[in-house]
Amino acid sequence: MMKKKSFAKFLTTATVSLGLAGMAASAWAGSLEDVMKARGLTQKDLLAAAKTYTPTGGRDEFVVFSSGGQSGQVIVYGIPSMRILKYIGVFTPEPWQGYGFDDESKAVLAQGKIKGKTINFGDTHHPAISETNGSTDGQYLFINDKANPRLAVIDLKDFETKQIVVNPIMKSEHGGAFASPNTDYIMEASQYPAPFENGYVPLSKFNEKYRGLVSYWKFNRKEGRIDPTKSFSVELPPYSQDLSDFGKGPSDGWSFTNSFCTERYVGGIEKGRPPFEAGCSQKDTDFVHMINWKKAAELFAAGKTKKVNGMDVIMMDTAIKEGILFLIPEPKSPHGVDVTPDGKYFIVAGKLDTHASVYDFAKIKALIDAKDFAGKDPYGIPILDLKKSLHTQVQVGLGPLHNQYDSKKCIVYTSIYVDSQITKWDYCEGKVLDKINIHYNVGHLMSMEGDTANPKGKYLVSLNKLAIDRFNPVGPLHPQNHQLIDISGDKMQLLYDMPIPLGEPHYAVAIQASKLKPKVRYKLGWDSRTDKKSPYRTRPGREKIVKKDGVTHVYGTLIRSHITPEIIEVEEGETVSLHFTNVERAEDETHGFAINNFDVNLSVEPGKTVSFTFKADKPGVYPYYCTEFCSALHLEMQGYLLVRPKGVKASDAAVSEGQTYTKADYDKQLKNNIATQGVIDSVVGYITSRNFKSFKPVVALVEDATDQLNFAADAKKKSEAFAAKKDYNNATLWAQQWFQYQVKAADIGLRAKTYLDEHGAVVVK
Ligand code: RUQ
Ligand code: CUA
């Protein structure tokens, strides 16, 4: 270990092992032909590989946010490499990120309780990125939970979940999350009709008492939070509302929501009645619901709502009277409704029909303005004529589901569930252009920013529900399969299969990576969940233990490689609140914190302050440690929580150690430290002779290194003071600590030096 070696020696060893790594690579040497032969690859495979392979250190052009399905999380991956970058904890605890373990994130998860009950899963379906003028802006991400109607807000500055809102009326929800073109509202539509009230209502009252609902949640962009007090809903008939979309351009101000089972069938297979699937697919058409949401917002502002479970609802009769709600027939059990980039059309794919229908918004608007209706539904909602509303219908394949747009004008891609295909077609001319087979059973599909006003083309991902035999078998539960398709040419080309082993990813959204500007560290002492300074932030040297209102507060810090305090002693029964601030500034220097027996892992990224409150209910000795391999002495980043039985006196600080040190030990350590200082000085000289101030990450590293050197100077003083008193035991220990700070400073310095070398820093005078 480096501990006893001189630092210079460590550097030489590192150089030698690098050379060895270079030699090992030759095991795979050989010509391209050899490798192709050995692995059975074709020219086509090589071309696909060349389009996705990303050399080490390379970045992706697009970043995808995929639903994590039943995991209640969001999966982040890159395109074209298909490398997974992160799982974001959203509706469920995520231990690595400490999500659901520290007090701050527990408070976020607690917002997702339903009628006081903790929900331990989420059925996440549709992520949506915030938009400005109909284009994704990379600021926020929203995602819904179908099973437990909830909506979450994730801030893309740090990829953390900030808020969960529970829909107080819905009992299930599918048609969310969708953001309006300027993210004023996030929309969600209920799925299975249910009574508004929370009590028992028999199915015999289905037609009168069961209802659908669309909610418009007001998003306060400045606060980065949904404001429930400014949000409202619109009551809908008990049809099973499905996916939705916001209009844009000429259709801005309107939203569209599909439905199925407009038969209002209620099932009952156990009573010998035909099941839901028969009763819900009887009619040839269902309904698209069109809502003028801008006018609805005015009605809400004017107080034309009724409070239902605390939420303002525009009731159906008001919506009809005020002319904000219309229905248009749509062929059989549709699924996706997708507004074209220019907002002139929207395309509906009918699961049980082979057609995709292109609706013309201008025609629809003219029909509404002329009050030219074909009839009314049983609730009195005006129905527009299907033929008069259509631009065209195109036969795209068996079981069309969802649509995504290309950067090329009039080009749309539709996922075809039964045929397991993607169909590329022209919605202006109404003709099919290309089809590609995928494996197996595609659900959603996703092109780059393909649901926005400015699709970026290039790639398409087929989100397949089944993988069957595509991957190495891992038992009866298979991963799902995301397939990357090149759409840059006339013909679609399949490039890559990526298994997704985290739950069924329903939908995903992609964004140009350049639009994302996440931070690498927090302001020192930051509560990332409220986005405010933490009241428990602590600076190095200010660590303390304070008793207040019956709680023992431990204000601690984390830095390579120690936790302060290292010994916490409390009495049985005390409520203890630990607060840790990671005082590092270096990128990626995260520390973890786990303690035996208390079910906690904290993730403390640079600058963050997190807390963990618990009852020390059982006497004992509980080691704690850092759970991130943060430095050479990471294993030594440890401490003890001692819980002494009630009534037992606090033990003296007297600690008995296994080792004592002599003057010879001290002298040896001193010599080592002086040699190490020589190495540090040369690294510092190298950095300061370059234009390092032009490189932000290096400035941060230098700040960190300076901190460490100040700590080193402190430890040096203590060591020398003990040596002067001839206490060589303490003098040696402090000299060792002085060395530890030196090592950390040198480690950071070397990182800075490497960065400068790789980024073309120049010598300055
Ligand atoms: S769904 S496979 Cu969006 Cu939940 Cu269509
Ligand atoms: Cu900090 Cu390991």
41 within domain boundaries:
no
Q: Residue 611 is encoded by which pair of tokens?
A: 């807390």
At 433, is the secondary structure helix, strand, or coil? Answer: strand
Q: How far is the CA of 689 from the centre of ligand 2 (A)?
A: 31
Separation of 635 CA from ligand 2 center, angstroms? 7
Whether 586 is in the pocket of ligand 2, judged by its Cβ within 6 Å, is no
Give the residue among 525, 573, 527 at the shortest CA–CA distance from 552: 573
Number of other residues whose CB lies within 10 A of the CB of residue 224:
18
Side-chain-side CA neighbours of 359 within 13 Å: the count stands at 30
Instruction: Name the one residue in this structure whose structure tokens are 């490497």.
Output: 754
Same domain, 168 and 125: yes
Asked whether residue 415 falls in the same domain as residue 276, the answer is yes
Ligand nearest to the CA of 560: 2
196 and 340 co-located in one domain: yes
Asked whether the beta carbons of 679 and 604 are under 8 A apart, the reply is no
Say if ligand 2 is within 6 A of residue 610 CB: no
Whether residue 237 is found in the same domain as residue 373: yes
CA gap 507, 124 in Å, rounded = 9
Please name the helix (run of DSSP H) or strand (run of DSSP E) that holds residue 67, with its range, or none: strand 62-67
Token pair of 213 as six digits: 């609902």
* Structure confidence at residue 746 (pLDDT): 87
Q: What residues pair up with 78 in beta bridges, in sequence order?
A: 63
CA of 462 to the centre of ligand 1 (A): 12
* 675 shares its domain with 634: no
- Nearest ligand 2 atom to the CA of 560 is 1
Ligand 2 touching residue 637 (CB < 6 A): yes
Of residues 72, 73, 99, the one with CA closest to residue 84: 73
Report the nearest atom of ligand 2 relative to the CA of 625.
2
Regarding whether 227 and 105 lie in a shared domain, the answer is yes
| Structure-block tokens of residue 524 | 């020192």
Strand partners, 227: 218
The whole domain housing 199 covers 62-515
Give the ligand whose atoms come closest to the C-alpha of residue 124.
1
Residue with tokens 């809400």: 300
Q: Are the beta carbons of 258 and 348 closer than 8 angstroms?
A: yes
Is the CB of 633 within 6 Å of ligand 2?
no
CATH number at residue 91: 2.130.10.10
Question: How many whole angstroms from 339 Cα to the centroid of ligand 2?
Answer: 49
505 and 368 in a common domain = yes
Question: For the residues of 480-508, what is the DSSP string, one character each?
Answer: EEEEEEE-SSSS-EEEEEEEE-SS----E
Task: Tell me, in angstroms, the distance from the centre of ligand 2 to residue 629's CA.
Answer: 5
Domain-embedded: residue 13: no
User: Could you tell me which of 709, 723, 705, 669 has the C-alpha nearest to residue 7?
Assistant: 669
Identify the helix (H) or strand (E) that includes residue 612: strand 609-615
**CA 507 → CA 75, 403, 404, 472, 486, distances in Å?**
11, 12, 11, 24, 19
Q: In this structure, is residue 441 part of a structural domain?
A: yes
- Ligand 2, closest atom to CA 589? 1
| Ligand that lies nearest to the alpha carbon of residue 258, given by its number in the listed order | 1
With a 6 Å cutoff on the Cβ, whether 602 touches ligand 2 is no
Residues 561/721/710/690 CA torsion (nearest 10 deg): -110
Minimum-distance ligand 1 atom for the alpha carbon of 243: 3
Name the residue with the closest Cα to ligand 2, atom 1.
591
- Tell which of 465, 481, 515 closes a domain: 515
Is the distance from the beta carbon of residue 628 to the nearest atom of ligand 2 less than 6 Å? Answer: yes
pTM score, whole prediction: 0.89
Q: Which ranges of the chain have pLDDT less than 70?
A: 1-29, 651-657
Among residues 357, 387, 358, the alpha carbon closest in space to that of 372 is found at 387
Kindly identify the ligand whose nearest atom is closest to the C-alpha of 582: 2
Say how many Å lie between the CA of residue 637 and the centre of ligand 2: 6
- pLDDT score, position 265: 85
Ligand 1 atom index nearest CA of 444: 2
Q: Which CATH number does the domain housing residue 611 bear?
A: 2.60.40.420
Cα angle for residues 250, 251, 257 (degrees, 5° grid)? 165
Q: Please give the distance, rounded to the nearest whole angstrom, from the Cα atom of residue 625 to the centre of ligand 2.
A: 8
Q: Which ligand 1 atom sits nearest the alpha carbon of residue 507?
A: 3
Q: How far is CA 395 from CA 281, 345, 399, 443, in A?
A: 20, 17, 11, 18
Ligand 1 centroid to Cα of residue 443, in Å, is 6
334 domain-assigned: yes
Asked if residue 404 and residue 276 are part of one domain, the reply reads: yes
| Contact status, residue 468 vs residue 492, Cβ threshold 8 Å | no
Q: Which amino acid is at 29?
A: A
Residue 53 lies in a domain: no
Ligand 1 atom at minimal distance to the Cα of residue 415: 2
Closest CA to 585 of 702, 704, 751: 704
Q: Point out the ligand 2 atom lying closest to the alpha carbon of residue 628.
A: 2
CB 290 within 8 A of CB 327: yes
Cβ contact 739:672 at 8 Å: yes
**Ligand 1 centre distance from Cα of residue 407 (Å):** 23
Q: Give the residue among 358, 286, 294, 365 at the shortest CA–CA distance from 327.
A: 286
The CA distance from 507 to 465, in Å, is 11
Report the half-sphere exposure of 180 (CA within 13 A, side-chain side).
Answer: 23
Instruction: Indicate if ligand 2 lies below 6 Å from the C-beta of 630.
Output: yes
Is 603 within the bounds of a domain?
yes
Task: Report which of 503, 487, 485 is spatially closest to residue 495, judged by C-alpha positions.
Answer: 485
Cα–Cα distance list, 82 to 66, 125, 510 (Å): 12, 20, 12
Looking at residue 425, its amino acid is W
Asked if residue 358 has its Cβ within 6 Å of ligand 2, the reply is: no
The answer as to whether 360 is a domain residue is yes
DSSP calls for 185-252: EEEEEB-S-EESSSS---GGGHHHHEEEEEEEEEEETTTTEEEEEEEEEEEE-SSEEEEEEE--GGGT
Number of domains within the chain? 3
Shared domain check, 624 and 506: no
Among 515, 534, 554, give the residue marking a domain's end: 515
Same domain, 257 and 294: yes
Q: How far apart are CA 258 and CA 287, in angstroms?
A: 6
Q: Rounded to whole angstroms, how far apart are CA atoms 482 and 84? A: 12
State the distance from the centre of ligand 1 to the C-alpha of 125, rounded, in angstroms: 7
Strand 225-236 and strand 311-314: the pairing is parallel
- Among residues 644, 677, 712, the one where a domain terminates is 644
The 3-class secondary structure across 102-122, one letter per residue, is CHHHHHHHHCCCECCECCCCE
pLDDT digits over 593-610, tens only?
999 999 999 999 999 999
Separation of CA 605 and ligand 2 centre (Å): 11
The answer to whether position 178 is within a domain reads yes
Number of H helices and E strands in the chain, helices first, is 13, 45
Contact present, 151 and 163 (Cβ < 8 Å): no
| Residue of minimum CA distance from atom 2 in ligand 1 | 443
Do the beta carbons of residue 402 and residue 421 sit within 8 Å? no
Taking the CA of residue 465 as reference, the ligand 1 atom at the shortest distance is 2
Ligand 1 is surrounded, with C-beta below 6 A, by: 125-126, 174, 243, 335, 401-402, 443-444, 506-507
Specify whether 131 is located in the same domain as 262: yes
CA of 604 to the centre of ligand 2 (A): 10
- Residue in the structure block whose two tokens are 């959203």: 90
Same domain, 690 and 583: no
Average pLDDT, the chain: 92
Distance from the CA of 75 to the center of ligand 2, in angstroms?
A: 26
